[in-house]
Each structure stands twice: as C-alpha cells, then as structure tokens.
Amino acid sequence: MEQLLRPIYLEKASQTNTLGVLLIEKREKDDPITDTFDSILLILAKEGERPVYTKHYTSGDAKAAVHVVTEKQLRKWLLLGTNRKLVDWLFFGKVLFDRNEYVKELKTELKDFPFYGRKIKMGLEFAKLIRRYLEGKVFFEQRNYMDAYNSIIDSLHHLARLAVIENGLYPEVTVWNQVKKIEPSIYKLYEELISSEEEIEKRLELLFLASEFFIHSRTEDGARHIIEVMSQKERWSIQELHEQEELRNYSVDLEVFIEYLVDKGLIQIDRLNTKGEGIFHRYYNVESLSPK
C-alpha cells in the first residue's frame, strides 16, 4: 500500500506547509488502531483551513485513510488526551518525511513529557477520576451494582492513566500494559475487580475503599494545575473559572472537581453580599500548594 500512497505523500512533502508524514500499517485483522484500514497516512501540517482533513482510498481489497492534521489540532489532542491512537501513530508509525526533524523532536518531547504538560494532564485525568468515582459511590449506595461496576471501571482507567503520567510517560492505547510495569498495585486492583469470584457487591465495596486511598494520596498533585491557575487572582466566580483559557479544558468535570477540592479544604469559599437578604454570591479562592 505504501507504493500506492507514494504519489500522495510526495506531493504533500513538496509543500512548505507540511511538517511531517507518517505511515501506519495494520498489525492485525480489524485493527482498531488503524480504524480497520490497511494503512493510515498521517500528514502533519503547519496550518490549514480545517483542523482535520480526511480522505479514503481503495485499491483492490486494500483500503487506506489519509489524515491531514494541523499542528494546533495535534497539540490539542496531545494535551487533552482525546485521541489516544494518535500517540500510537506517532511512536510506531514509519516516518516517510520529516521537515527539519519536526517529527523526531515531537517524539522526543512526548517521551520526555514536559512538566507543565504533566500538570495539566494530571489535573484533567484526576477530575474525570473524581466524577466517575463519586458517581459510582452513589450507584453503589443505591444498590445499582452494575452501574456502580461500570463507573468504577472507568475511574480505574483514569487512575491508570494518571499513574502513567505521574511517572513522566505518555499514556498509550495499551495503558494497562504500562501500568502493570510501573504501578502493579493499581493493576492488581483492576485485575481483582474483573476476575475475582467474590460477589459483585463485595468486590465493589473493597474497590471503593482501595480507590479512596489512591485518590487521597494523589489529591494535591491532581489539584496542582487548577490551584496554580486560581492563584493568579484573589477570587473567582464559577463563570470566570469556566471561561479561563486553561480551565475550560476541564469542561463538564470542572464544577464537581471544584466542589471536591472545597470539601478537601484546598479551595475556599468567599461569600459576597447580594441585594437579597440572606443570600450570597459564592466565589472561590486558594492558597498556593507547597512546591514540588
């Protein structure tokens, strides 16, 4: 398939807007890494009218997809972790063209994982972890055990990704393989949930207790990004927090995350008078965490 795609990537490589071209080949039948296509041609562009432009091709029984992705969109995906297969493509794809070693430097950056990138990604994963954990606890208390099971599975996935990030690595698609090597205690937790012969109620009860320990021990590090952002001014309204450029990435998890941190004493509440008697505006402020 590479030879058939050759004219396409040669044309793109000749354009000054192209930063790099990678080829990703299917490893197994119906491989989800390549969206079941035989080949993926990933073209990284400096700019573009669209953040992502995709075309599909076919030749005989073979099929290929070409994705042209702008640098801005690439950075957004890598920061938010919303396109996990992209990391696999960058690490394991065959580099066909690399302008000024852009792809090489990008892969080095992902391996080194800059500290700022770690902090915001840890915050995003921790916020998702908190939401799913709290939802699961409510389901468990309501005796909706299958819903609780689903929530705790999701929370463990976020905990696993958080552990990988803590260790200075980038979460790959096969995140549990990473966790098994670097955080075996979390892997064992996951293994016990899915393979134990205990009744589901007992399994969940033990998992919630163990998860609470893992969450508690990571709260300060998970909150570090949002605390640093909020330290930039004296107090914040919830609307200001939603509109802040970095915090808007927390999206629907922002408010439950803030309330969790209020409960843990890391965010304080300021009450400002309104025109109504006995009702106050609710604002938020923080004290800086100890440096780490």
Q: Where are the alpha helices (DSSP H) in the chain?
A: 2-13, 71-80, 84-92, 102-112, 115-141, 145-166, 175-182, 184-195, 200-230, 238-243, 254-263
Phi and psi for 167 in degrees, rounded to 5? -85, 10
- The tally of CA atoms less than 13 A away on the side-chain side of residue 215 is 25
Inter-residue contact 138 to 210 (CB < 8 Å): no
Based on the fold, state whether residues 99 and 189 are members of the same structural domain.
Answer: no
- For residue 248, the model assigns a pLDDT of 92
Among 110, 145, 174, identify where a domain stops: 110
**In the structure encoding, which two tokens stand for residue 239, read together?**
């609307």
Chunked in runs of 10, what are the mean pLDDT values of the chain (292 residues)?
A: 85 95 87 88 96 94 94 90 86 94 92 75 95 96 96 95 89 87 94 91 93 94 95 95 93 95 95 86 86 64
Q: What is the pLDDT of residue 292?
A: 62
Q: Which of 110, 134, 163 is the last residue of a domain?
A: 110
Domain membership of residue 238 as a residue range: 115-286
Same domain, 105 and 119: no
CATH label of the domain that carries residue 50: 3.30.460.10
pLDDT at position 114: 62
Its pTM stands at: 0.79
The CATH number given to whatever domain includes residue 166 is 1.20.120.330
Give the whole-angstrom CA distance, residue 248 versus residue 127.
12
Q: How many domains does the chain have?
A: 2
